[in-house]
Structure 1
Amino acid sequence: MEEVSASAGQLITILVMGIALGMDAFSLGVGIGLKGVRKLDVLKLSTVIALFHVLMPLGGMVTGYYVSGLLGGVATSAAGALLLLLGGHMVYSSLRGEAVQSINHRTFWGVLVFAVSVSVDSFSVGVSLGMFASHILLTVLTFGFFGGFMSVLGLMLGRRFSGRLGGYGEALGGAILFAFGILFLI
């Protein structure tokens, strides 16, 4: 019975982290959607963002697995500190109002820059999860799903609503990652 509740707990953790990481994609989507975006652009951006939300944490998990072998028992503390820093940075960035505004989201390089910018934190989280030997396939597919879904949601909402939603989405995602960092350190 304990094994089932541990698995359910891990699944809930992965889902919540996937949603938290998707908040960056949501925030960016709202910002781009407010500028005006075609449905083809929504599909293109969301697909590339979802792909990067799979590849970046996968690379991070491989790195984290290697680092955990080197660090041993210190790995949990290192993972918690990494999540604290990442979550704190996301909240700080949202409060400062940093936004990428001069990049054309319709070009190949624009799509690539946007996808990388909202997926970099997935790499860091992947490093943390790799230290725990988490379920790799489930984790990266969940992160990819929520990255793509949240970007579609943000792009579509951005087409219809004001710009206040974007910063709050990133701040909420950062707060969730910060909370997980605290839990790992306790």
Structure 2
Amino acid sequence: MTIEHIISELLPLCIMAFALGLDAFSVSLGMGMITLKLRQIFYIGITIGTFHIIMPFIGMILGRFLSEQFGSIATIIGSILLMGLGFHIVYTSMSHDDEHRNVPAGASLLLFAFSVSMDSFSVGLSLGIYGARTFVTILIFGVVSMMLTWFGLLIGRKAHSILGTYGEVLGGVILVGFGIKLLFSV
């Protein structure tokens, strides 16, 4: 396996992980405006990273099953799901007002992590149909989203006014782009 092959395989996954993590990053920016202890920041990042591993894993398993059963039709469906998810992220990020968010803890942290990782389930579904490497993909998704969450929480006070909604919009646009690329690779 050459270095060019490794880069051509990992670069799209890293970009996609970054796009998915921007949702958690944007939400974390708003949450970072609340005074948080380092311990809370640590747990929030770990929880979101874990959900960004679990959700695409479930999606990839289901995507592989659908791909085996339905072939190229499943690939087309996966690309449409990815584009739809991207458009949905752009729409919701532009239509909702920024509101004061409370620091999630316990069950509310799990629900919060689940909600910001739902998009990674759909991406995992699409990648499972496409046949991406499971372990590498979910590891990249989890680590990138965890790091972006921590980064967002730590710089929230200063960066929220700059990136807020734009981070989510950029993430949605990137997902639409990957959906289009996947659709034309059929």
When normalised by structure 2's length, the TM-score is: 0.91
Matches within 5 A, 1:107-186: 107-186=105-184
Alpha carbons 1:36, 1:159 under 8 Å: kept: no
Amino acid at match of 1:37: L
Alpha carbons 1:37, 1:159 under 8 Å: kept: no
- Counterpart CA distance in 2 for 1:109 and 1:170 is 25
Alpha carbons 1:58, 1:126 under 8 Å: kept: yes
Alpha carbons 2:104, 2:112 under 8 Å: kept: no
When normalised by structure 1's length, the TM-score is: 0.91
2:67 matched residue in structure 1: 68
SS in 1 for 2:71: helix
User: How far did residue 173 of structure 1 move?
Assistant: 0.6
- Counterpart CA distance in 1 for 2:82 and 2:26 is 19
User: How far did residue 10 of structure 1 move?
Assistant: 1.9
Provide structure 2 residue ranges, at least 5 long, that are not aligned to the other structure: none
What count of residue pairs does the alignment treat as equivalent? 184
User: How far did residue 87 of structure 1 move?
Assistant: 0.5
Task: Report the aligned-residue RMSD.
Answer: 1.8
1:81 matched residue in structure 2: 80
Provide structure 1 residue ranges, at least 5 long, that are not aligned to the other structure: none
- The 3 A distance-change label for structure 1 pair 73 and 4 is farther
- Counterpart CA distance in 2 for 1:98 and 1:162 is 13
Seq. identity, %:
38
- The 3 A distance-change label for structure 1 pair 77 and 31 is same
Amino acid at match of 1:83: L
